[in-house]
Chains A and B, each alone.
Chain A
Amino acid sequence: MTQTQKNYAIEASDLNLYYGETLAVRDINVQIEKQKITAMIGPSGCGKSTMLRAFNRMNDLIPSAHTTGSVFYHGKNIYDEDVDPVEVRRRIGMVFQKPNPFPKSIFDNVAWGAKINGYLGNMAELVEESLRGAALWDEVKDKLDKSGLSLSGGQQQRLCIARTIAVKPDIILMDEPASALDPIATLKIEDLMQELAKDFTIIVVTHNMQQAARVSDFTAFFNLDGGHAGVLEEYGITAEIFTNPKKKSTEDYITGRFG
């Protein structure tokens, strides 16, 4: 249960995650590279979303969930007693599967997170900068006071990304961010991810093999092992995983033979 030497963005060490008695993620050791896009793939129910949520303690919100092992972030185990999960979630932001903007104006959607975290700078500048960062500024600059819910699905998802980068996290977790969007909106999100990777570390859960192959630098393949969920089968550079997988199960999955 120690941290490895190299300076990673975040790393899990012997991580186990339970829902009640059920083990959902088992013995995970994974190191996420800084300012890279890491994709987590695997069949439904394999625990990849649970694993993603373990990185910013979102699982704490589920009463029955509990965790053993460590997740090191800046050399500190975020599951230590003295770590406040609220601070963890500000540093490690999250974008959800279904776009979920607040029922507030576009401006307030972006500004709210920064405001409650005590942002001291110029709010209008931050909102513009964040919306530009999410490639949404040109589409919404004339209607910042309109409801965030009035936007299209793809725009809403980019608004959620803008809202996340407004609180200036190091890492952005994305839980199937494009699964509820049409192909064009999906492409925009993928382009945006490439752009964001210049400043942020991105971990993305996806069901879409092409998407993982297109956007990610690293890929982690999770699997159900003989009925047991949450096993990390293979982890490595995306190009290698997709062209030369070490395990048979990985190859079967990415070529679409199961899952």
Chain B
Amino acid sequence: MTQIQKKEGFADNLLQRHRLGNFWSRLFQISTGVGIIALIALLLNITNSAFGYVATENKVDPETLAINGIPLEQLHPIDLTYILEQNVSAGFFRVQNNEYPFEERTREEIYDLVIERVVEPEAVSTWSLFDSLIHKDEIEAKASEKYPNAELSFQSWINGNFLISPQSADPERAGVRTAVLGSLWVVTITLLFAFPTGVGAAIYLEEYAGDLWINRLIQTNINNLAGVPSIIYGILGLAIFVRGLEPITSGAFLGTVDPTTANGRTILSAGLTLGLLILPLIIINAQEAIRAVPGSLRQASFGLGATKWQTIWHHVLPNAIPGILTGTILAISRALGETAPLVVVGASTFITFDPTSPFSKFTTLPIQIYQWTSRPQDEFRNIAAAAIIVLLIILLSLNGIAVFLRNQYSNKI
């Protein structure tokens, strides 16, 4: 090949230009790499705590409870009830019997109660996932030396029981049920409030509001509100929803006050507070989506004699919906992960009963996680990690739904 002739009047710097480009592209690769490493570290850290060996010691050896050589697992319900009566306080036995007579309970239910109240297994020591995998032999040796009576087993802290059990003071029996339900209730209220309001405001600002100073002021304010720290929204929610609108948020106006709360610290207050928090995000995202609808489409519609509303309803919104949904789901993910404003609004840190209406007391997953991580016992750290996995799974499912809905709308035509 012949050498391409150098052009007069131009510097011979092609190699230099390529080198500069390569430098930047390498830099961007590194920053992507840092992000991926951080993400992997996060996931490893969580899974490390959520699984691992547990040494469990029973207060009473189940074998000593065998009657006539029949092991505990195979005993008749009547014998199990007898064991229970012998080993727990009379008061507890009476309360249990009054709540749900033992004659009507299944064998499994009574057996579970015997294990919980009589055998009382307790985790005496736990190990992380990596220790469990790498130093398996050492752990076994150490466990048999230090806790000769303990049983060593590999446990996933996130399991069926963990998902369906309510909060408990005992980490082995504590679950995320209350928190998951609370989170879902709060996010539903948030969505019902923020989505129609936000999209409506975006339509008004984009399609109807003229270029007046007042509209520009509103727009600037919305943009700034998106960056206000969430704790401030918590204080706002406390002032407006919990205190100011207490008759409404407590349910008093409907006569359905929850006797255990009787104030405004309800799911409704929390949902509306988070709604205010994500409102600017939804408005800004929906505005972007509406603005991205090609002008040629609007012109085509107007050119056929469509009114403004017909144009918006039939062309602008259907084309903006994928973008609006993407923005909404990002906002909802943010609401789902918020802790600070809910602490201020008054989320409970310890409730064991399910929320039943917008006027119930509540707790949410992030609050629960925060509360567990601040407990001294090691096991709470394990279930906090398990709860984080639950939270991440809920977030990912929400994102999955959003992607599905978006594709659904985009593929329509």
B297 CB to nearest A CB, Å: 6
Asked whether B304 lies within 8 Å of A167 as measured between CB atoms, the reply is: yes
Task: List A residues 131-158 near B (Cβ within 8 Å).
Answer: 147-149
Residues of chain B lying within 8 A (CB to CB) of residue A90: 304-305
Interface size on B, residues (CB 8 A): 21
Asked whether B303 lies within 8 Å of A112 as measured between CB atoms, the reply is: no
Known contacts A102-B297, A104-B413, A149-B413, A167 near B305 by CB under 8 Å: yes
Asked whether A100 lies within 8 Å of B302 as measured between CB atoms, the reply is: no
Task: Report A35-76 CB contacts with B as 1/0, cut-off 8 Å.
Answer: 000000000000000000000101001010000000000000
Asked whether B304 lies within 8 Å of A93 as measured between CB atoms, the reply is: yes
Q: Which of B294, B298, B304, B319 has the most CB of A within 10 A?
A: B304
Q: Report the Cα distance A148→B314, complex, angstroms.
A: 16
A233 CB to nearest B CB, Å: 28
Q: How large is the interface on A (under 10, 10 to 19, 20 to 34, 35 or more residues)?
A: 20 to 34
* A26 located at the interface, meaning its Cβ lies under 8 Å from any Cβ of chain B in the complex: no
Q: Report the Cα distance A61→B311, complex, angstroms.
A: 12
Q: Report the Cα distance A63→B211, complex, angstroms.
A: 9
* B306 located at the interface, meaning its Cβ lies under 8 Å from any Cβ of chain A in the complex: yes
Task: List B residues 130-187 near A (Cβ within 8 Å).
Answer: none
Residues of chain B lying within 8 A (CB to CB) of residue A93: 303-304
Q: Report the Cα distance A112→B379, complex, angstroms.
A: 64
Task: Report A143-186 CB contacts with B as 1/0, cut-off 8 Å.
Answer: 00001110000000000100110010000000000000000000
Residues of chain B lying within 8 A (CB to CB) of residue A96: 296, 299-300, 303
* A89 located at the interface, meaning its Cβ lies under 8 Å from any Cβ of chain B in the complex: yes
* A252 located at the interface, meaning its Cβ lies under 8 Å from any Cβ of chain B in the complex: no
Residues of chain B lying within 8 A (CB to CB) of residue A87: 305
Asked whether B307 lies within 8 Å of A86 as measured between CB atoms, the reply is: yes
Task: List A residues 84-112 near B (Cβ within 8 Å).
Answer: 86-87, 89-91, 93-94, 96, 98, 100-105, 112
Asked whether B413 lies within 8 Å of A100 as measured between CB atoms, the reply is: no
From A63, A86, A100, A149, B305 is in contact (CB under 8 Å) with A86
Asked whether A61 lies within 8 Å of B302 as measured between CB atoms, the reply is: yes
Residues of chain B lying within 8 A (CB to CB) of residue A104: 413
Asked whether B304 lies within 8 Å of A113 as measured between CB atoms, the reply is: yes
Residues of chain A lying within 8 A (CB to CB) of residue B306: 86, 113, 116
Q: Report the Cα distance A6→B19, complex, angstroms.
A: 74
* B45 located at the interface, meaning its Cβ lies under 8 Å from any Cβ of chain A in the complex: no
Known contacts A56-B303, A100-B297, A116 near B310 by CB under 8 Å: yes
Q: Report the Cα distance A93→B306, complex, angstroms.
A: 11
* A117 located at the interface, meaning its Cβ lies under 8 Å from any Cβ of chain B in the complex: yes
Asked whether B305 lies within 8 Å of A113 as measured between CB atoms, the reply is: yes
Asked whether A103 lies within 8 Å of B302 as measured between CB atoms, the reply is: no
Main secondary structure of the interface of B (DSSP, over half): helix
Using CB atoms, name the residue of chain A closest to B308: A86
Using CB atoms, name the residue of chain A closest to B295: A61
Q: Report the Cα distance A113→B298, complex, angstroms.
A: 13
From A63, A94, A101, A103, B303 is in contact (CB under 8 Å) with A94
From A98, A116, A147, A160, B314 is in contact (CB under 8 Å) with A116
Residues of chain B lying within 8 A (CB to CB) of residue A149: 413
Known contacts A98-B296, A116-B314, A103 near B319 by CB under 8 Å: yes
Task: Report B294-330 CB contacts with A as 1/0, cut-off 8 Å.
Answer: 1011111111111100100011000100000000000
* B400 located at the interface, meaning its Cβ lies under 8 Å from any Cβ of chain A in the complex: no
A156 CB to nearest B CB, Å: 11
Using CB atoms, name the residue of chain A closest to B304: A113
Residues of chain A lying within 8 A (CB to CB) of residue B413: 103-105, 147-149
Q: Report the Cα distance A98→B412, complex, angstroms.
A: 23
A189 CB to nearest B CB, Å: 17
B315 CB to nearest A CB, Å: 7
A89 CB to nearest B CB, Å: 5
Known contacts A63-B211, A103-B319, A104-B413, A89 near B296 by CB under 8 Å: no
* B21 located at the interface, meaning its Cβ lies under 8 Å from any Cβ of chain A in the complex: no
Using CB atoms, name the residue of chain B closest to A148: B413
Using CB atoms, name the residue of chain B closest to A104: B413
Asked whether B304 lies within 8 Å of A112 as measured between CB atoms, the reply is: yes
Asked whether A116 lies within 8 Å of B303 as measured between CB atoms, the reply is: no
Q: Report the Cα distance A115→B319, complex, angstroms.
A: 20
Asked whether A117 lies within 8 Å of B300 as measured between CB atoms, the reply is: no
Residues of chain B lying within 8 A (CB to CB) of residue A89: 302-305
Q: Report the Cα distance A91→B304, complex, angstroms.
A: 9
Q: Which of B298, B301, B305 has the most CB of A within 10 A?
A: B305
Residues of chain A lying within 8 A (CB to CB) of residue B296: 96, 98, 100
Task: List B residues 191-244 near A (Cβ within 8 Å).
Answer: 210-211
Identify the 8 closest CB pairs spanning chains A and B, nearest first.
A90-B305, A113-B304, A94-B303, A100-B296, A147-B413, A103-B413, A89-B305, A100-B300
A sample of 7 more A-B contacts (CB under 8 A), given A63-B211, A116-B314, is A58-B299, A58-B303, A89-B303, A89-B304, A96-B300, A102-B297, A116-B305
Can you list 13 A-B pairs, Cβ within 8 angstroms, ordered by A? A87-B305, A93-B304, A94-B303, A96-B296, A96-B303, A103-B297, A103-B319, A116-B304, A116-B305, A116-B306, A117-B305, A149-B413, A160-B300
